[in-house]
Structure 1
Amino acid sequence: MKKKLLVPVLLSSALLAGSIPANVFAQPVNSSAVSNVQASKKSDEKANVPLFVKERSSAKFSSSSPSNAIKYLKKNQDKTGIKNPDKDLKVNSVQKDELGMTHIRFNQAVNGVTVEGAGVIIHYNEKNEVVSVNGRVNQAIAEDAVDTSVSLSNDAAIKEALSAVNAPKELTYNPTSELVVYPFEEENHTAYKVNVNFMGDEPGNWFVFVDANSGEVIDKYNGLMHADENKTQKGFGKGVHGDHRELHITRVKEPKSGTKFALADYSHENIGGIFTYDAKNDGNSGNDTLYVGNSAAFIRDYDRAAVDAHYNSEKVYDYFLNEHGRNSLDGEGMAINSYVHYGSNYNNAFWNGRFMTYGDGDGEFFIPLSAGLDVAAHEMTHGVISHTANLAYRNQSGALNESFADVFGVLVDDEDWEMGEDIMAPAAKADGVTRLRSLSDPNSVVVSNEQRAAYGSGVYPDHMDEYYDMPLNVDNGGVHVNSSITNHAAYLIGQELGREKLGKIYYRALTVYLTSNSNFSDARQAIVQSAIDLYGEGSGEEAAVHAGFDAVGIY
């Protein structure tokens, strides 16, 4: 009897430590949990409260200024839930976009000290009218007493940070520091956020959080790792499917073996670089190295996963830059890092908050997952989401996280509206498993295991009538399964408007309006408003968005 093959894991945004047991999904690592960590305080729901207010009768001011934004917030505390905005908010930035709208970002603060990761955005139209407010507010901090006194000097904090990252004597510039309230591991720390930058054999752009009283290093991360003296040249390679790939590579010199060629791309301006690393299938991250070959031709069988990862990373970078003016995943030129040959027969790919990682597959369900351009776009979009809406990876907000990653996956890989069709192994295809998800026909794909099928029809839903009401311990409340409902709405909108307009509307919703805990209804509101911003109220584009969400039962 023919064995039935079911895909054991779906594309995820991060890795579950250790081996993957049956029916367990990899869990995401929020970028702020890796860098600007924002742990929930004792799981209090008030620790990260999403906010979205759309004004029906816009509040008009003489100018689109921060002071007028504060006046608006003070007058509308009942709408926003923000108490004492003049005391608890500090201006972060003022940005005017191509539509003539002004967006004023405020950081939340306690006693004048910025709370890492918390803040709101006030949106003015071109007539100086406040038309909407969104963001996330840590009400637990606002209500609890936070001691922002310090006993450690700024100089002592910098000294501790230098030691923590083994900084050399010669620095690129003098270290900088800022006092912040840093929520981490269920405690609110008053800390110095110290930035240390240096070049050399192991260059670094470190951010170190030093407790402002005990002097203990709470957390640290490296935001940059490349050397400016490297020069990029053209190389080529063969991908997993045998495609000829032109690559940007770098000539490097190794002390014992002479000249080599690395999958390191420095050809793009104002970005830290695009790099591909070899995880060597050994389970030891300490052995991971930059992917290096003996020549500019990467044509060995072992090279193929790395060739596709490197090539696809550049394609996704180019899409976000050319279509949306976004410079890398954080919008500020962060280096793009990919790791291939992860684990042994590893059936997954993930974004862990800093970089992409690809398994080689087991040859039965998957081939090397870097073969899929849509897979690369999906994982890298998780990085964009982490630096914008930061959608919490559970229940409907988590389903939106997966859905936006899928939508941009099929926008970058625009041959069809399917996810993962290029990474399925021959045995899976022979058994009818030809893709992971379908935006055009979600019901045509079977969910990947019986446990999840127990909560619904057994196929991916395309309407809220088929919504899987799943507990958090199963697929984080249905983040992969229920994402297909909003995926199908995007497909319907795209069919009406085309991929370019769909991308522009969804990108604006993601980067301007959505917040960490947005649900499906919030997403409809954000996407409708984005269509109105771009194409006008009463436009065909707005009507298409309404129709798309109506068709899937999101009202």
Structure 2
Amino acid sequence: MKKKYVIPVAVLSSALFMGTLAPVQTHAVSTSDQTQVQQKIVHNQQNKPFFNKEKGQTSSNATEKSAQEHLKQNKKAYNISNPDQSLKQTDLKTDDLGMTHVTLQQTKNGVPVEGHLVKVHYSEDEKVEAVNGQFNTSIEKSSMSTKPSITKAKSIATAKKAVTAPDELVESPTSDLVIYPFNDENHLAYKVNVNFLGETPGNWMVYVDAKTGKVIDQYNTIMHASYKTSRGFGIGVLGDYKTLHISKDMSTQGRDYYLLDQSHKNLDGIYTLDAENQWVLPGKLFSSSDAAFRTSYERPATDAHYNSEEVYKYFLEEHDRNSIDGEGMPIVSTVHFGEDYNNAFWNGQQMTYGDGDGDFFIPLSAGLDVAAHEMTHGVTTFSAGLKYRFQSGALNEAFSDIFGALVDEDDWEMGEDIMGAGAKADGRTALRSLSNPSKFPVGADYVSYGDGNGMYPSHMDEYYDLPIELDNGGVHINSSIINHAAYLTGEKIGKDKLGHIYYRALTVYLMPDSDFDHAREVIIQSAVDLYGEDSPEAAAVAYGLNEVGITG
């Protein structure tokens, strides 16, 4: 019988919605009243991030104090009683349009409320233009204690046990005290991050009740997918010639060349490392006895190194973003991870590429769009912070696919350069298609949760209502709806303008808990910011979203 190739949902991967007290008091003024229930996690209108336009309201200047004052003057509209006590500034930045954005974190007795931020957006002449975010009124009004009963050390031990973490970790776990609204209750909790590798790598967020020591919630955020500067070249997996920025070992005995690019000002380097087919990271710096990286073993490294620089240059030249974090952080990739590993991922710190099994996948570093996908997960980590499950997770995946298609601008397919002979023979010529999502089938386990056609959805009528244990609630499946909306818009206004609009939405307006309806509001607003209220660009964005059934 001929093998049927259906994409593993873990491929190219990089969360959760807040629950609230009953009656629900986490609120967000939203245009949608859709209610969803997933794995006992309540999603409803009050729990959605809000987006309010405040055209031309005057303010003295764009500061934490003026933002708090604006919210205080309009506290009935926002239902925030004491913004000067409940909201503390975490960021203030001015963008290329001259708009200033003040980000405020909701707190209780100085303890942050997980995922609850309010942003006040100012025009160039310092008038309040818009306010968006998420605020939990029940926490503000409550007298809950914020004094923990267990230690951070205890929370870390509990978290490691909950995720079956190995003894060897990527880095020491972190633990931060937060207030975590979840399943109709506001918890004082430790947010513990546990990061480890192996055949099933994990970058886990575990919420441990700071009173009882029990695990409240947990989820995996793995986002699947002395030298002198010198010039070299390499041959990629597909046989193409590539010029590389590399480094020469200048030590007394050193004769080797390394895949270390130190040629870019204000960037802490582009590093490509070799896991040597082990399940460990980051591996050792990839080296060669000469400046040519062309053997079959070196070719995946050639692609990873070259593609990392191409994606870096895209974000710098198109969006003035210096590296993944915007601050010049090193760009690190590891190739030859594990044996026959059919995956690529971003683990919160770096990109990692398997070699594939040679049948379904060839080495995954061969895809420029794959590199762009994984690095965009990093950009999302350092901007919107979209939580990696349900609709916020689908947005996370969609933005990575969209920027994959923008950087690799030849087509609207995702992963077409990494498919193996067996997959191609069975008609699986790419991972996903932005232009025609239903070109490819989903896994058999997911079919019953959709409309029955078993294909990737391109409209909300085909939405897969998946539980958390399947694809984190559909992050790789339902993302294709957003993908298709972007494609429809891009066909009208071009990839360049599409990229600027979606980048602004990702880095200025989207929030950790954003869903599809909120994404519609802020993507349209981003087009308005850049091109005007009645512009063809804003109309094209609305058209694309309307056509996939995200109508607000």
The Cα shift of 1:235 comes to 1.0
- Normalised by the length of structure 1, the TM-score is 0.77
Q: Where do residues 514-533 of structure 1 align in structure 2 (5 Å cutoff)?
A: 514-533=510-529
**Residue number among 445, 449, 455 corresponding to 1:455 in the alignment:** 449
Q: Which residue of 1 aligns with 2:374?
A: 379
Q: Which residue of 2 aligns with 1:67?
A: 65
- Kindly provide the CA deviation profile for residues 42-82 of structure 1, in whole angstroms up to 9, marking residues without a partner as x: 99999x96633312554322433432211111133344454
For residue 354 of structure 1, give the secondary structure of its aligned residue in structure 2: coil
- Partners of 2:448 and 2:112 lie apart in 1 by 46
1:405 aligns with 2:403: no
Q: Which residue of 2 aligns with 1:219?
A: none
- Partners of 1:294 and 1:431 lie apart in 2 by 40
1:444 aligns with 2:439: yes
1:122 aligns with 2:120: yes
**Residue number among 220, 230, 245 corresponding to 2:242 in the alignment:** 245
Which AA in structure 1 matches 2:490?
A: G
Amino-acid identity (%) = 53
Q: Is the 8 A contact 1:428 1:434 kept in 2?
A: yes
Q: Which residue of 1 aligns with 2:19?
A: none
**Residue number among 300, 303, 306 corresponding to 1:308 in the alignment:** 303
- Partners of 2:251 and 2:125 lie apart in 1 by 60
1:388 aligns with 2:383: yes
Q: Is the 8 A contact 1:52 1:132 kept in 2?
A: no
- Kindly provide the CA deviation profile for residues 229-254 of structure 1, in whole angstroms up to 9, marking residues without a partner as x: 53311111111001111111111257
The Cα shift of 1:105 comes to 2.5
The Cα shift of 1:189 comes to 6.4
Q: Which residue of 1 aligns with 2:145?
A: 145
Q: Where do residues 154-233 of structure 1 align in structure 2 (5 Å cutoff)?
A: 188=189, 229-233=226-230
Q: Aligned pair in 2 of structure 1 residues 181, 451: CA closer, same or farther (>3 Å)?
A: closer
Q: Which residue of 2 aligns with 1:199?
A: none
The Cα shift of 1:471 comes to 1.2
The Cα shift of 1:11 comes to 3.1
For residue 233 of structure 1, give the secondary structure of its aligned residue in structure 2: strand
Q: Which residue of 2 aligns with 1:201?
A: none
Q: Where do residues 235-384 of structure 1 align in structure 2 (5 Å cutoff)?
A: 235-252=232-249, 258-285=254-281, 288-384=283-379
Q: Where does the alignment leave 5 or more consecutive residues of structure 1 unmatched?
A: 15-26, 29-41, 149-179, 192-228
For residue 256 of structure 2, give the secondary structure of its aligned residue in structure 1: strand
- Kindly provide the CA deviation profile for residues 340-399 of structure 1, in whole angstroms up to 9, marking residues without a partner as x: 111111111101111111110001100000000000000000000011111111111111
- Kindly provide the CA deviation profile for residues 399-455 of structure 1, in whole angstroms up to 9, marking residues without a partner as x: 1111000000000000000001000001111111100111111111111x2111222
Which AA in structure 1 matches 2:285?
A: L
For residue 433 of structure 1, give the secondary structure of its aligned residue in structure 2: coil
The Cα shift of 1:467 comes to 0.9
- Kindly provide the CA deviation profile for residues 459-512 of structure 1, in whole angstroms up to 9, marking residues without a partner as x: 111111111111111111111111111111000000000011000000000001
Which AA in structure 2 matches 1:542?
A: A
- Partners of 1:467 and 1:119 lie apart in 2 by 28
- Partners of 2:112 and 2:459 lie apart in 1 by 42
- Partners of 1:6 and 1:49 lie apart in 2 by 35
1:97 aligns with 2:95: yes
Q: Where does the alignment leave 5 or more consecutive residues of structure 2 unmatched?
A: 17-39, 149-175, 181-186, 193-225
Which AA in structure 1 matches 2:401?
A: D
The Cα shift of 1:12 comes to 3.0
The Cα shift of 1:5 comes to 2.7
For residue 131 of structure 2, give the secondary structure of its aligned residue in structure 1: strand
The Cα shift of 1:10 comes to 4.8
**Residue number among 39, 51, 54 corresponding to 1:53 in the alignment:** 51
- Partners of 1:138 and 1:336 lie apart in 2 by 37
Please give the root-mean-square deviation of Cα atoms over the aligned residues, in Å: 3.2
Deviates more, 1:94-103 or 1:432-441: 94-103
- Partners of 1:437 and 1:135 lie apart in 2 by 31
- Partners of 1:81 and 1:359 lie apart in 2 by 49
Q: Is the 8 A contact 1:44 1:140 kept in 2?
A: no
The Cα shift of 1:132 comes to 1.7
Q: Which residue of 2 aligns with 1:39?
A: none
For residue 336 of structure 2, give the secondary structure of its aligned residue in structure 1: strand
The Cα shift of 1:83 comes to 4.3
Q: Is the 8 A contact 2:51 2:518 kept in 1?
A: no
